[in-house]
Amino acid sequence: MSGSILYIHGFNSSPLSTKARQLEAVMQQLDLSEQLRVPALHHHPRQAIAQLETAIAELGAPLLVGSSLGGYYATHLAERHGLKALLINPAVAPHKLFDGYLGTQRNLYTDEAWELTHDHVDALAELEVPAPQDAARYQVWLQTADETLDYRQAERYYRACALRIQAGGDHSYQGFAEQLPALLAFAGIARGQYAALDFSVF
């Protein structure tokens, strides 16, 4: 489906995150809600990927929009299916970051408690792909003051892609709503459909 979008949230996040809600509100305003999926992902990578594969099948060839760990998932899926991906402060090789996090985790939005195990880490490692080389298919949006991930890792890994690096900001990506016109354009939604929208209100 041209103009369809699959939003992939990050670690211990949910469809209730600010970016997900802003994107949902804009798509609703444009009467395009049926072209957006924002699944509540299972904490285990294998189950999360299965959910995302189902959403891709439903949408056809969506733009994958991945935040943080969702950016890692999006990269794997974009490479597997030849899809376009827009990555927001994406995690690079997250399995290498999780050693200190094994044990009980809590979802920031649902308060669900779950155990992060070596099996989670192994499953993440299985999703690793070579650095993407296609600037036409990938946009990578980074903010330099990301307090969770070092943006320079993503800058190096995605250096062949279209990079948009903003000074400041944070891991949640400040000013996301104002950048949504660029996201909609990349998804293939005609500019005339959103030209009159005031994105500062979302």
The string of pLDDT tens digits covering residues 24-38 is 999 999 999 999 999
Which pLDDT value is given to residue 123?
A: 97
**pTM over cut 0.95:** yes
86: CB partners within 8 A, 6+ apart: 63, 64, 65, 66, 74, 138, 139, 140, 141, 183, 186
Residues 77-115: tens digit of each pLDDT: 999 999 999 999 999 999 998 877 899 999 999 999 999
161-168 contacts at long range (C-beta below 8 A, 24 or more positions apart)? 161/132, 161/133, 161/134, 161/135, 161/137, 162/135, 162/136, 162/138, 164/139, 164/140, 166/141, 166/142, 167/143, 168/143, 168/144
pLDDT above 80 (res 148): yes
Q: Is residue 191 part of a domain?
A: yes
User: pLDDT tens digit string along 133-145?
Assistant: 999 999 999 999 9
> pLDDT tens-digit profile of 44-76?
999 999 999 999 999 999 999 999 999 999 999
Percent of the chain exceeding pLDDT 90 equals 97
Domain count, the chain: 1
Report if residue 86 sits inside a domain. yes
Residue 18: the pLDDT is: 96
Say which CATH number the domain at 118 has. Answer: 3.40.50.1820
Amino acid at 5: I
Residue-number span of the structural domain to which 135 is assigned: 5-196
201 assigned to some structural domain: no
Q: Which pLDDT score, from 0 to 100, does residue 99 have?
A: 74
| Burial class of residue 50, CB neighbours in 10 A (0-12, 13-18, 19+) | exposed
Whether 139 is covered by a domain: the verdict is yes
Examine residue 146 and state whether it is found in any structural domain, yes or no.
yes
Rounded to whole angstroms, the Cα distance separating 46 from 33 reads 27
Q: Which of 30, 21, 83, 24 is nearest to 52 (CA)?
A: 83
- 80 occurs within a structural domain: yes
The mean pLDDT of the chain is 96
Average pLDDT over residues 138-167: 97
Distance, in Å, from the CA atom of 133 to the CA atom of 120, rounded to the nearest integer, reads 27
For residue 1, pLDDT over 70 is answered with no
Q: Is residue 202 part of a domain?
A: no
Of the pLDDT bands very low, low, confident and very high (cuts 50, 70, 90), residue 2 is confident
**What average pLDDT score do residues 173-199 get?**
96
Decide: 15 and 9 in contact? Cβ < 8 Å: yes
- Per the domain annotation, does 112 fall within a domain? yes
Mean per-residue pLDDT, 180-186: 97
